[in-house]
């Protein structure tokens, strides 16, 4: 239940600064900004932008708008710069540079979010269509075949075929965040894990995550249908259609489904299992990668071998890189389980998908899995072990694109810093 993520798009959710609100708050407690004295000199940024927690240089930065040191009242005034220029000009220049650094860091986080949730959406669409297409002879395990089939879909159905269901993925993320906040507010279940954690606290925190995934499950199922439904027979649905279908799935209303539709109770275990494992794996990898990067940065600073530009880059990019590595590893590790989960959710919903072998025509979904165990055995017997990795080439394209955007923004940011230093 973590669309690119990131997870926590968890990433997700993810997603650092962004992951604090999308499922990573347990691994990285957010900083406290409660005192008014601390808030008085910061340029604030939204908390859901990756890297935004590191946009400021803490104790090293002078308070924003602080007056320059006053000169003595008696005696001649000193002019530290030739030509009679005062130190106020240098202070203004330093403040301008600090402002540039803050907003440049905000732009880097925003570019990461945009890549994860918008640019990567065509990869998510094709990846899910391949996962639920049990008819497919071509598994699309490499990015080359994925690019070819994307071109065919775009040619026959237009660009909308690759961007369908994007609004519903944001709705699912919003429902997940809202449910987690409400449950943690009215129950003793902790939304964050302190540094002095204990097994009981971790268990309660994971219970909160499990309840959150259960609440968001029907909306996730509706969002999945929107992303895999063929554009050829698709009606012009509104952005809130996901909410309507999710509530209808719970109440047993809406479009009639076939008798093969699995009840929501039978979907709870695989949904919660996938969500919790994704959260645990991504949180552990994120913390591990961030620890390595912090130690590397600290060692380089002790050796005094880093330039001012590199020092500033070290304050922005470690969290983004950690989020990227966490989302990539968790998606790769749990890809087989995600394939099983999507097939269970889509069964019996009368969904018509695109033919991922030809790039045109449509196919019905007529699976008859009795549950998670039966789905795993059927895929292994009829499609082989590679059947669990159908559409994996889309994951390669998705994270290659994400890495490229991070590298480009890093180059741009380095250039801006060099010009401002």
Q: Residue ranges of the domains in the chain? A: 107-419
pLDDT(33) > 50: no
Identify the bridge partners of residue 352 per DSSP, sorted by sequence position.
364
CATH among 2.60.120, 1.50.40, 1.10.150, 1.10.10 for 107-419? 1.50.40
Give tens-digit pLDDT for 168-180.
Answer: 999 999 999 999 9
Give tens-digit pLDDT for 237-258.
Answer: 677 888 888 898 888 766 566 7
Please give the model's pTM, rounded to 2 decimal places: 0.73
The pLDDT assigned to 219 comes to: 94
Give tens-digit pLDDT for 264-285.
Answer: 999 999 999 999 999 999 999 9
Torsions phi, psi for 362 (to 5 deg): -130, 160
The pLDDT assigned to 172 comes to: 94
- Three-state SS annotation for the chain: CCCCCCCCCCCCCCCCCCCCCCCCCCCCCCCCCCCHHHHCCCCCCCCCCCCHHHCCCHHHCCCCCCCCCCCCCCCCCCCCCHHHCCHHHHHHHHHHHHHHHHHHHHHHHHHHHHHHHHHCHHHHHHHHHHHHCCCCCCCCCCHHHHHHHHHHHHHHHCCHHHHCCHHHHHHHHHHHHHHHHHHHHHCCCCCCCCCCCCHHHHHHHHHHHHHHHHHHHHHHHHHHHHHHCCCCCCCCCCCCHHHHHHHHHHHCCCCCCCCCCCCHHHHHHHHHHHHHHHHHHHHHHHHHHHHHHHHHHHHHHHCCCCCHHHHHHHHHHHHHHHHHHHHHHHHHHCHHHHHHHHHHHHCCCCCEEECCCCCCCEEECCCCCCCHHHHHHHHHHHCCHHHHHCCHHHHHHHHHHHHHHHHHHHHHHHHHHHHHC
The pLDDT assigned to 210 comes to: 96
């Amino acid at each position: 239940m973590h669309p690119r993520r990131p997870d926590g798009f968890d990433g997700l959710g993810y997603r650092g600064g962004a992951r604090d609100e999308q499922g990573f708050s347990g691994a990285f407690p957010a900083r406290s900004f409660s005192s008014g004295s601390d808030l008085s000199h910061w340029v604030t940024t939204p908390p859901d932008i990756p890297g935004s927690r590191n946009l400021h240089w803490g104790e090293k930065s002078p308070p924003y708008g602080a007056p320059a040191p006053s000169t003595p009242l008696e005696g001649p005034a000193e002019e530290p710069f030739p030509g009679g220029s005062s130190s106020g000009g240098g202070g203004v220049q330093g403040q301008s540079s600090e402002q540039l650094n803050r907003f440049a860091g905000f732009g880097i986080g925003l570019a990461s979010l945009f890549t994860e949730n918008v640019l990567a959406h065509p990869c998510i669409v094709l990846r899910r269509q391949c996962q639920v297409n049990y008819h497919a002879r071509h598994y699309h395990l490499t990015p080359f075949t994925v690019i070819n089939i994307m071109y065919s879909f775009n040619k026959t159905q237009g660009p909308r075929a690759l961007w369908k269901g994007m609004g519903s993925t944001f709705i699912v993320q919003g429902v997940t965040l809202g449910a987690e906040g409400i449950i943690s507010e009215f129950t003793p279940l902790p939304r964050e894990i302190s540094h002095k954690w204990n097994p009981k606290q971790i268990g309660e925190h994971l219970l909160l995550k499990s309840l959150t995934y259960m609440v968001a499950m029907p909306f996730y199922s509706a969002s999945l249908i929107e992303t895999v439904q063929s554009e050829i027979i698709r009606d012009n649905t509104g952005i809130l259609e996901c909410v309507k279908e999710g509530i209808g799935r719970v109440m047993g209303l809406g479009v009639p489904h076939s008798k093969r539709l699995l009840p929501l109770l039978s979907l709870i275990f695989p949904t919660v299992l996938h969500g919790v494992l994704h959260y645990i794996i991504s949180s552990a990898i994120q913390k591990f990668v961030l620890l390595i990067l912090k130690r590397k940065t600290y060692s380089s600073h002790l050796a005094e071998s880093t330039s001012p530009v590199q020092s500033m880059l070290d304050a922005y990019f470690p969290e983004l890189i950690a989020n990227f590595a966490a989302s990539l590893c968790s998606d790769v590790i749990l890809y087989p389980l995600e394939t099983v989960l999507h097939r269970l959710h889509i069964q019996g919903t009368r969904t018509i998908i695109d033919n991922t072998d030809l790039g045109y025509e449509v196919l019905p979904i007529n699976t008859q899995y009795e549950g998670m165990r039966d789905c795993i055995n059927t895929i292994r017997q009829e499609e082989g072990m590679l059947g669990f990795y159908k559409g994996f080439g889309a994951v390669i394209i998705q994270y290659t694109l994400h890495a490229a955007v991070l590298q480009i923004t890093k180059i741009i940011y380095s250039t801006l810093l060099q010009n401002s230093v």
